């Protein structure tokens, strides 16, 4: 009898946990792999789904040269209207396309470019229906941190419930998980 109860509790607990984690999705853009690592480690730790924003034009080293005012990243960062095209937002473990309707919370992860999120992340945010959804923003940076990048991005997510964000260039997946769970409490 006791064993039956225990098995039932474990089963139910497992189901509830799977249900909870399935409702959070990670969506990341990463040009050189740092943000990708952070997002993947955390999503794995949380058992959450993870999707990559793939640009139509893959950024080359020359595109990413911030010393050059004429590099693609500099041009995009200096143009408030820039919205680079997205090829796909796909699962990293299958070919499934991202569908926001299946999630309560979307954790948007990106590198800091000139103190803000890259413009392609704005393309993503503007293309989604955020009504009733929570958003958390995580970044990696060379040291300047999240700054106003999260709040600025959230302005373009109509109807979103923005919970906050943080720079996680350093820190384990477990640290990030703890931070996210704290925000969603
Ligand atoms: C075009 C460009 C602009 C950047 N601007 C900043 C900045 O303003 N502040 C900062 O701390 N780091 C800046 N960085 C560094 C990146 O934020 C950092 O290397 C990040 O971890 C890269 O992530 P990724 O590998 O996922 O692309 C910039 C990098 C690039 C390519």
Query: What pLDDT band is residue 18 in, cutting at 50, 70 and 90?
Result: very low
Which domains, from first to last, does the chain contain? Answer: 24-184 (3.40.50.360)
Sign of CA dihedral 132, 137, 138, 140: positive
| Ligand 1 pocket residue status of 18, Cβ below 6 Å | no
Q: What does pTM read for this prediction?
A: 0.91
Cα angle vertex 150, ends 74, 23, to 5°?
Answer: 125
Å from CA of 16 to ligand 1 middle = 38
The count of residues in the chain is: 185
At residue 58, φ and ψ (nearest 5 deg) are -75, 130
Note whether 159 and 146 are within 8 A (CB): no
| Ligand 1 pocket residue status of 141, Cβ below 6 Å | yes
Q: What is the pLDDT of residues 88-97, one digit of tens each?
A: 999 999 999 9
pLDDT at residue 85 in the model: 98
């Amino acid at each position: 009898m006791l064993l039956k109860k225990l098995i039932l509790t474990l089963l139910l607990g497992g189901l509830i946990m799977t249900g909870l984690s399935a409702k959070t999705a990670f969506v990341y853009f990463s040009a050189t792999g740092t943000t990708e690592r952070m997002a993947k480690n955390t999503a794995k730790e949380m058992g959450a789904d993870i999707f990559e924003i793939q640009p139509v034009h893959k950024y080359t080293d020359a595109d990413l040269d911030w010393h050059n005012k004429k590099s693609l990243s500099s041009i995009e960062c200096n143009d408030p209207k820039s919205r680079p095209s997205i090829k796909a937002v796909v699962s990293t473990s299958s070919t499934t396309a991202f569908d926001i309707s299946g999630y309560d919370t979307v954790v948007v992860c990106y590198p800091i470019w000139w103190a803000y999120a890259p413009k392609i992340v704005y393309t993503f945010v503007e293309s989604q229906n955020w009504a009733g959804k929570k958003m958390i923003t995580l970044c990696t940076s060379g040291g300047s941190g999240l700054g106003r990048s999260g709040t600025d991005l959230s302005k373009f997510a109509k109807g979103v419930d923005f919970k906050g964000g943080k720079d996680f260039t350093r820190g384990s997946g477990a640290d990030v998980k703890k931070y996210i769970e704290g925000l969603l409490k």
